[in-house]
């Protein structure tokens, strides 16, 4: 079964399952048929959702590798959210907690947090360790697009 995330309908509140490969696409609520916009917020990703989103994305994917104990990660979270809002439909923003997903961190050699990576066509094209502002993250995404 393909990995998915849940998006609540702004009209009726229905929780709709959205496949990872469709995070950048508009959808329709299963209950009221109201249009659901593309993901405009960072999506928490486990290994399955990460792999599905990276493999099938038609747009760049910005990944925020972070940890709950990391002060700079918490400070940069609003910047990551800005990028998700600004790139809705043109990119996908994932958040990967390295403590809950150590295999993903190891797979990509993440040794410090926060670390940001932009993936295009299933592979990383840019990796940036350290806290950065939304304008720098946006440039990374735009250069990959």
**Global pTM?**
0.94
- The model's pLDDT over 5-53, given as tens digits with 9 standing for 90+, comes to 999 999 999 999 999 999 999 999 999 999 999 999 999 999 999 999 9
Distance in angstroms between the alpha carbons of the first and the last residue of the chain: 28
Domain residue ranges in the chain: 39-144
pLDDT at 125: 96
134-144 helix and 71-86 helix, angle to the nearest 10 degrees: 50
pLDDT at 1: 60
Distance (Å) of CA 24 to CA 14, 20, 73, 99: 19, 9, 24, 26
> 120 has which bridge partners?
123
pLDDT at 64: 98
Token digits for 25?
A: 């696409």
Active site residues: 70, 73
What's the pLDDT band for 145 if we cut at 50, 70, 90?
Answer: confident
- The model's pLDDT over 62-102, given as tens digits with 9 standing for 90+, comes to 999 999 999 999 999 999 999 999 999 999 999 999 999 99
The residue written with tokens 């950048």 in the block is 24
Q: Which CATH superfamily is domain 39-144 in?
A: Glutaredoxin (3.40.30.10)
């Amino acid at each position: 079964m393909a990995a998915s995330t849940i998006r609540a309908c702004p009209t009726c509140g229905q929780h709709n399952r959205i496949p990872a490969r469709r995070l950048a696409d508009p959808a329709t609520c299963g209950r009221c048929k109201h249009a659901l916009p593309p993901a405009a917020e960072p999506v928490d990703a486990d290994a399955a959702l990460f792999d599905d989103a990276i493999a099938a994305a038609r747009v760049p994917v910005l990944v925020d590798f972070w940890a709950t104990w990391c002060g700079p990660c918490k400070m940069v979270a609003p910047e990551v959210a800005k990028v998700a809002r600004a790139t809705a439909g043109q990119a996908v923003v994932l958040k990967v907690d390295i403590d809950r997903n150590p295999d993903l961190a190891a797979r990509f050699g993440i040794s410090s947090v926060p670390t940001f990576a932009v993936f295009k066509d299933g592979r990383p094209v840019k990796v940036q360790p350290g806290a950065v502002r939304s304008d720098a993250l946006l440039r990374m995404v735009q250069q990959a697009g």
